[in-house]
Amino acid sequence: MLRSCQCEAEIRQLLELGHWPQSCPPELRAHAESCRSCGDLILVTQAFQAGRAASLSAPQLPPPGVLWWRAQLRRRNAAVVRINKPLFGAQIFAFGITLLVAAGLITSQAKQSWHWFTSLRSEVADWIASISQSQAFHFQALFPVTAIKSGASLMYLVTGLAMVALISGVVLYLASEKQ
Partner 1 sequence: MLWESILPHAIASEASQVGPKSNLIQLRMDSDAFAGFYERSARPLWAYLARVSCDPALADDLMQESYVRFLSAARPPRMEDGEVAARRYLFRIATNLLRDHWRRPVSASIEEMPEEFFAARDESARPDSEQNETLAMLVPAMARMSPRERQLLWLAHAEGYSHKEIAEVTGLVSASVRLLLFRARRKIGRFLREPVRRQP
Q: Is 44 in the site for partner 1 (CB under 8 A)?
A: yes
14, exposed or middle or buried, with CB in 10 Å at 0-12, 13-18, 19+?
A: buried
- Name the residue nearer to partner 1 (CB basis): 74 or 115: 74
Q: How many CA atoms lie less than 13 Å away from 90 in the CB half-sphere?
A: 10
Q: Is 72 in the site for partner 1 (CB under 8 A)?
A: yes
Contact between 45 and 15 under an 8 Å Cβ cutoff? The reply is yes
List the one residue from 6, 9, 30, 79 that touches partner 1 (CB under 8 A): 79
Considering only CA atoms, which of 52, 49, 40 is closest in space to residue 15?
49
Beta-carbon contacts of residue 51 (< 8 Å; ≥ 6 apart): none
Contact string (CB under 8 A) for partner 1, positions 147-176, x = contact: ------------------------------
Q: Is 11 in the site for partner 1 (CB under 8 A)?
A: no
Which window, 67-75, 101-109, 112-120, 162-170, contacts partner 1 (CB under 8 A)? 67-75
Q: Is 33 in the site for partner 1 (CB under 8 A)?
A: no
Q: Is 54 in the site for partner 1 (CB under 8 A)?
A: yes
- Rounded Cα–Cα distance for residues 38 and 32 (Å): 5
Element (H, E) at 141: none
For partner 1, the binding residues (CB under 8 A) are 2, 4, 16, 39-41, 43-52, 54-62, 64-65, 67-72, 74-76, 78-79
